[in-house]
């Protein structure tokens, strides 16, 4: 097990180092709290022994330890006869304490306790990770070689603690992939949250603890925000960043929409989600899944599936969902046939025609609740924007994070 010791007194620090090393521990000792906090963020120890003062409110080492994806066993080092210090440390998060001068017998007891606790934690974590792998295939269905390779890359990326760059066209389900990556990772038991420009990354990092922060559409953010993100990505951090981009990073770099150093840091671990047109056979898999979820009473004919497979899907999975929604509305019976599918696909909504469309009207009556009005307004705007959340946020003058939260709150997933 990895052990980190923070002790301002060299004698007891050396005793602790020798005692834990004698039991097979990989031990690092520090005299300064900030150095110990940085080491804890980098190495994620199994055991952390620290001066009782380190368990005071606002101490960087304690904040770092409590925010780690896998919380270490925390032991307070207390001067003899200072029982109040031991009680205070335990109240603030310590699992146990040991007296100074240090007894090797007490170290042996704490080592045994940590080993027993780690065994229980590892069993629970193994179960959680197995469930997360099953959820991955359910949340991101597909059986084409390109998609299977992308999911395998996602699983590999989840194993490390490094930041991740998700690339892929609009509509390739990067938000679902980011959540799946979080759940597959050692941080998966922690929180997952979106972060958008205009929010304080310092505050978001504190709020999320040892979880994952997801930033969609990084190329749409300002240079100053990307500079701030770079500082967090490069420095010691208690959270993991997953960043998505909706265009080719090379194009974004050439156009000045993506910070070069930020890209260099993030691209060390990149997962590309292929467009639907490159996923042979997956349109059929996805179409059946989408209809099961949204229109369970409807079936779809094989010829209609062939028509879907033949389309090039510039809007990817998001466009497929919209086509099936419209086909279900036009369908007169319980089966969606090829004629209906071709009529929907044959009436695409190209950009030039989209610009001429008039936004739908949302009628409000006296007595309508504000929540219902808000739900209808967001739903209609999302529909008009063809499921584009960024465009929806711009039209409603709301932040992208607010749109994501409202879509989840009202069950408006597109």
Contacts 24+ apart (CB under 8 A), 107-111: 107/16, 107/19, 107/20, 107/23, 108/19, 108/23, 110/47, 110/73, 110/75, 111/1, 111/20, 111/23, 111/25, 111/47
CA distance 149 to 191: 27
The residues of the chain scoring below 50 in pLDDT are 348-356, 414
CA distance 154 to 172: 14
Point out which residues pair with 30 in neighbouring strands: 6
- Give the CB-side neighbour count of residue 100, counting CA atoms within 13 A: 22
0.75 surpassed by pTM: no
**Are 380 and 348 contacting, i.e. CB atoms less than 8 angstroms apart?**
no
Read off the pLDDT of residues 269-322 as tens digits, 9 standing for 90 and up.
999 999 999 999 999 999 999 999 999 999 999 999 999 998 989 899 999 999
- pLDDT score recorded for residue 82: 84
Read off the pLDDT of residues 187-203 as tens digits, 9 standing for 90 and up.
887 889 999 888 888 87
Tell which phi-psi region holds residue 352, choosing left (phi > 0), alpha (psi between -120 and 50) or beta. Answer: alpha
């Amino acid at each position: 097990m990895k052990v980190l010791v923070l002790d301002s007194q060299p004698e007891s620090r050396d005793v602790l180092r020798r005692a834990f090393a004698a039991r097979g521990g990989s031990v690092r000792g520090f005299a300064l709290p900030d150095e110990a906090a940085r080491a804890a963020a980098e190495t994620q120890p199994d055991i952390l022994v620290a001066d009782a003062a380190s368990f005071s409110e606002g101490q960087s080492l304690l904040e770092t330890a409590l925010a780690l994806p896998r919380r270490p066993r925390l032991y307070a080092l207390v001067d003899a006869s200072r029982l109040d210090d031991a009680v205070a440390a335990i109240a603030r998060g310590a699992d146990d304490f040991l007296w100074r001068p240090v007894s090797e017998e007490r170290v042996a007891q704490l080592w045994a306790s940590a080993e027993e606790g780690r065994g229980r934690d590892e069993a629970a974590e193994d179960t959680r990770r197995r469930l997360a792998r099953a959820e991955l295939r359910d949340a991101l269905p597909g059986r084409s070689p390109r998609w299977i390779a992308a999911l395998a890359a996602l699983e590999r990326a989840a194993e490390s603690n490094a930041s991740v760059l998700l690339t892929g066209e609009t509509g390739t389900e990067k938000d679902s992939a980011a959540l799946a990556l979080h759940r597959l990772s050692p941080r998966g038991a922690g929180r997952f949250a979106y972060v958008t420009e205009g929010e304080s990354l310092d505050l978001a990092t504190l709020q999320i603890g040892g979880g994952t922060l997801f930033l969609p559409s990084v190329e749409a953010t300002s240079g100053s925000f990307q500079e701030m993100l770079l500082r967090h990505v490069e420095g010691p951090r208690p959270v993991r960043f997953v960043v998505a981009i909706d265009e080719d990073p090379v194009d974004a770099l050439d156009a000045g929409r993506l910070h070069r150093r930020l890209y260099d840091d993030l691209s060390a671990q990149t997962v590309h989600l292929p467009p639907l047109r490159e996923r042979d056979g997956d349109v059929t898999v996805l179409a059946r899944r989408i209809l099961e979820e949204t229109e369970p009473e409807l079936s779809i004919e094989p010829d209609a599936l062939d028509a879907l497979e033949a389309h090039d899907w510039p809007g990817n999975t998001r466009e497929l969902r919209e086509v099936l929604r419209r086909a279900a509305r036009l369908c007169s019976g319980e089966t969606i046939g090829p004629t209906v599918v071709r009529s929907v696909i044959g009436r695409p909504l190209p950009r030039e025609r989209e610009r001429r469309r008039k936004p739908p009207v949302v009628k409000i009556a006296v007595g309508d609740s504000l929540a219902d009005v808000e739900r209808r307004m967001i739903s209609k705007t999302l529909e008009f924007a063809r499921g584009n959340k960024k465009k929806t946020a711009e039209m409603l003058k709301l932040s992208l994070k607010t749109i994501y939260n409202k879509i989840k709150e009202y069950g408006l997933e597109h």
